[in-house]
Amino acid sequence: MVQRQFPRPVEVFENVRFKRPDLNGRRRRLAAALTVEDLRAIAERRTPRAAFDYTDGSAEAEISIARARQAFEDVEFHPEVLRDVAHVDTTATVFGASSALPFGIAPTGFTRLMQTEGETAGAGAAAAAGIPFTLSTLGTTSIEDVRAANPEGRNWFQLYVMRQREISYGLVERAAAAGYETLFFTVDTPVAGARLRDRRNGFSIPPRLTVGTVLDAASRPWWWFDFLTTPKLEFASLSATGGTVGDLLDLAMDPTISYEDLELIRGMWPGKIAIKGVQGLADAKRFADLGVDGLVLSNHGGRQLDRAPVPFHLLPEVVREVGADVDVIVDTGIMNGADVVASIALGAKFTLIGRAYLYGLMAGGRAGVDRTIQILTEQVVRTMKLLGAHSLDELSPRHVTQLERLVPRARS
């Protein structure tokens, strides 16, 4: 029999500690988020449907993004035990310089539509974390203002080649003058993908008020207050607005983009240049032969060609064939620090986060981006320790198996 007694107040307070309530709602929300998926759930509650769906959605049936995320979930890790991992080094080297972490912030368009701090929040958070920030051609903060938010850090610029070439040339010149170090020449957007969520929601740039948006606003007044009381959205490269994102991309992008455009831009750009949107080994070899500095294996977050190749699946063979000549970077589908570690183990020099950063932005502005980086950092460090790796250099293919779910049929 267990001997029982009346609880003594002194013993109760010795064994129980009451948590002091945090009256700051934003801080309380973000502290409760333990994963990027948690931040996504907060973002969905706090953001109007059209803006959230623009961020969260992808092309057509959204098969590409689902497969990309599934590929990371299908990783099997192989840990090495009884190794001293009290401290691990997460420093990565990419394009000849260091990053405190093996991931940076990917270029995202129309970012201030998701939350009004937009690219400034991302650049500031990147500066604080010691990681690169990439500004999109379709960004809603100027090249110069992003540099001001990250004056001592690493700023990269993502370039679309526009129908009006002078626009693209002017952006290249401004980015170079502002001290951006790397240019992402984007090759996977000759036309816009079919982003069906945007069409179903009637999502346009700028947002149009309809009965649906008014009703949606009633439950999210803070978002509309921020949107209507902050500076007007400005786009560095778009002079005309008033349609869906797909409509605007089709008007702006040039389906005749070619290798000649790449050579011309290379001649204008004084820094490193990487090709963003590589989706096959043959193209990877061709660009490596041209002497570019890097390749970003990406299917544009699944927002262009649905059923596109999974970048993470392409990684081993691309690294094997051209990894000695160029820095290979992976994006699309990264939602966990373990995804980052798996990519580095299979030979990637670096990774990029897009939606993961935007979920944090929508969940809590700059503080939400900081929380995204913190969550991913904790996951990277914990995964490395559990694998027995002291540094990124110690990660290798022996730590990772890509389990097969989609196996091609033999060709006749």
Contacts for 139 with CB less than 8 Å, ≥ 6 apart? 107, 108, 109, 111, 118, 119, 146, 235, 236
pTM of the model: 0.93
372: number of CA atoms within 13 Å, CB side? 34
Q: Which two tokens stand for residue 90?
A: 């997460």
DSSP-derived secondary structure for 55-90 = HH--STT-HHHHHHHHHHHTEEE----S---SS-B-
Any idea which residues carry the catalytic annotation? 300
Q: Which two tokens stand for residue 134?
A: 């990439």
End-to-end CA distance of the chain: 75
Question: For position 223, what pLDDT does the model report?
Answer: 84
Question: For position 205, what pLDDT does the model report?
Answer: 67
Q: How far is CA 15 from CA 5, 8, 64, in A?
A: 16, 11, 51
Pairwise CA distance, residues 354 & 91, whole Å: 20
Ramachandran area for residue 368 (φ above 0: left; ψ -120 to 50: alpha; else beta): alpha
Pairwise CA distance, residues 366 & 360, whole Å: 8
Pairwise CA distance, residues 191 & 209, whole Å: 27
Question: For position 243, what pLDDT does the model report?
Answer: 60
Q: Which CATH class is domain 38-402?
A: alpha beta
Domain ranges of the chain: 38-402
Question: For position 206, what pLDDT does the model report?
Answer: 65
Q: Which two tokens stand for residue 88?
A: 């691990």
Q: Which of 254, 314, 304, 313 is nearest to 283 (CA)?
A: 314
Q: Which two tokens stand for residue 353?
A: 């986060």
DSSP-derived secondary structure for 358-396 = HHHHHHHHHHHHHHHHHHHHHHHHHHHHHHT-SBGGG--
pLDDT string in tens for the chain (412-residue length):
788 877 777 766 777 776 778 888 899 999 999 999 999 999 999 999 989 999 999 999 999 999 999 999 999 999 999 999 999 999 999 999 999 999 999 999 989 989 999 999 999 999 999 999 999 999 999 999 999 999 999 999 999 998 889 989 999 999 999 999 999 999 999 988 999 998 888 877 666 656 676 677 677 888 888 888 888 776 756 655 556 666 677 777 889 999 999 999 999 999 999 999 999 999 999 999 999 999 999 999 999 999 999 999 999 999 999 999 999 999 999 999 999 999 999 999 999 999 999 999 999 999 999 999 999 999 999 999 999 999 999 999 999 999 988 788 776 5
Q: Which of 102, 104, 75 is nearest to 88 (CA)?
A: 102
Contacts for 105 with CB less than 8 Å, ≥ 6 apart? 122, 123, 125, 126, 131, 132, 133, 134, 352, 353, 354, 357
Q: Which two tokens stand for residue 377?
A: 């950092």
How many other β-carbons are positioned within 10 Å of the β-carbon of residue 211?
A: 7
Give Cα 362 distance to the centre of its chain: 14
Q: How far is CA 108 from CA 9, 141, 361, 383, in A?
A: 56, 11, 12, 27
Q: What is the pLDDT of residues 256-286, one digit of tens each?
A: 999 999 999 999 999 999 999 999 999 999 9
Q: Which two tokens stand for residue 216?
A: 């949606």
